[in-house]
Amino acid sequence: MSFSKNKALQRPIKRLGWCLVLASACVTVLFQISDMNNTIQHMTEFNISEAYIFGREPEEVYYEEKSDVLEDVCPKSLLPKTKWEWNLEGGRHQGNANNSTLPRVFLMRLPREMGSSYLNRTRKSLKVHGYKNNCCEVDSVDGTELLLIEDEQNHNHSELTGINFNRESLTPGAIGVFLSHISVWRHGLIHRTPVVSLESDTVALTNWSISHEEFKDYDILHVMNHENIPRKCGSAREITIREGMEYWYGTGALLFPVTNKDPSEVMRTLSKELVDNNLQEGISLPVDHWINTMWRDKKFRIGSLCPASFEVIQDHVSTVNP
């Protein structure tokens, strides 16, 4: 009798055990579905993909279809992969000048910044102020990674870019920032379209409302606010362009317009200042100081837009020079 009673008691206990196992499995599945929904919601909210281009449909994220045209217009990375061509004479630039009002914005960020709050803040600002459909999100040049690649492959990046840097004067991060901005500038010259090189912690403040006529005589325009600018814009809303180092600071957002000059002429001057004049000692200045030198020596016409269209917000630890 006792054996029968024990056996009768075991049956409901086993059933209870199976119910607990099934309940636990259901809870796990629900959590996984919740996490997946959060991920999809995040990607949909900012409308971004691993192809780093705004405005593409979510289903295109997962397949990353290849397109030569797409890669040409919005490269995935600013890291040089082929030898840079500095001679645009003979029609080597692509197409006629694009004098459209809205420049192509290159949002430059390092892969390790992908989940950062400040990068997401920048993405949101670009979407809010109408840059989404004319914006490329690209891998900037990681100077530290660049040095590792050079050590592994036993060659120097200058073999591709022609630009020699003084490694004793510049950190790997500074070299990466320099090459990133120059890469965007070259893209604008080759495609004859105005471009903005935008750093990851620089947000859009307003919609773009500046006509080509207002900046066509300049080679570089600082189009951002920075807390360290000595002489900031006043309260006037009328668009003006000011010249002088007291009116700009840093490189958070640089506009490289399509100027009245032939792009081959601009590229020739750029090559002379970056390549020819630095073959021996190498460039020893970070890009913002180099730009100041170019303005002082009147190599390029450089100005600052007032009021600014972007603003640098430095409320985080830099990942460029860790």
Q: Which residue has the higher pLDDT, 150 or 105?
A: 105
Q: Check residue 55 and give its pLDDT.
A: 37
The pLDDT tens digits for 111-143 are 999 989 999 999 999 999 999 889 999 999 998
Least confident range of 30-34, 194-198, 309-313? 30-34
Q: Is the pLDDT of residue 59 over 50?
A: no
The pLDDT tens digits for 155-169 are 677 888 899 999 899
Q: Does 320 reside within a domain?
A: no
Q: Is the pLDDT of residue 36 over 70?
A: no
The H or E element containing residue 108 is strand 104-109
Q: What CATH number corresponds to the domain at position 60? A: 3.90.550
Burial classification of residue 267, based on how many CB atoms lie within 10 Å of its CB (0-12 exposed, 13-18 middle, 19 or more buried): buried
The pLDDT tens digits for 207-217 are 998 888 888 89
Q: How many CB atoms lie within 10 A of CB 245?
A: 17
- List strand residue ranges (DSSP E) for 191-317, in order: 195-199, 202-204, 220-222, 224-225, 240-242, 253-256, 302-306, 310-312
Q: Is the pLDDT of residue 104 over 70?
A: yes
Instruction: Report the C-alpha gap between 232 and 170 in whole angstroms.
Output: 29
Q: Check residue 13 and give its pLDDT.
A: 54
Q: Cβ distance 157 to 178 under 8 Å?
A: no
- Answer yes or no: do 60 and 165 share one domain: yes
Q: Does 322 reside within a domain?
A: no
- Answer yes or no: do 186 and 211 share one domain: yes
The structure tokens listed for 236 are 């006037």
Report the percent of the chain where pLDDT is more than 70: 70
Q: Cβ distance 192 to 94 under 8 Å?
A: yes
Q: Is the pLDDT of residue 187 over 90?
A: yes
- Answer yes or no: do 100 and 23 share one domain: no
Query: What's the predicted TM-score (pTM) here?
Result: 0.76
- Answer yes or no: do 105 and 171 share one domain: yes
- Answer yes or no: do 201 and 127 share one domain: yes
* Residue 120, C-beta contacts closer than 8 angstroms, at least 6 positions apart: 46
Instruction: Report the C-alpha gap between 30 and 27 in whole angstroms.
Output: 5
